[in-house]
Structure 1
Amino acid sequence: MSAARPGRSSEIATARCNKICEQLQKADLGALADLGFISLNDDADDLVIATGFKAIRTRDLSNAQKPANQVLAGGRAAVEHGFADRKCRRILTKLRLNARHATVLLRALLVLTNLEVSR
Structure 2
Amino acid sequence: MIVLAVLRHDQRLADMAGGNNVSESTVRRWRDELIALLAAQAPCLDRALKRVAKQGGEVVLIDGTLIPTRRRTGKADRQNYSGEYRHHGLHFLAVTDEKGRLIWISAARPGRTHDITAARHDHILAHLRAAGLSALADLGFRGLDNDARDPVIVTGCRPRPA
TM range (shorter): 0.3 to 0.5
TM-score (norm 1): 0.40
Which structure carries more strand by proportion?
Answer: 2
Which structure carries more helix by proportion?
Answer: 1
Larger Rg: 2
TM-score (norm 2): 0.30
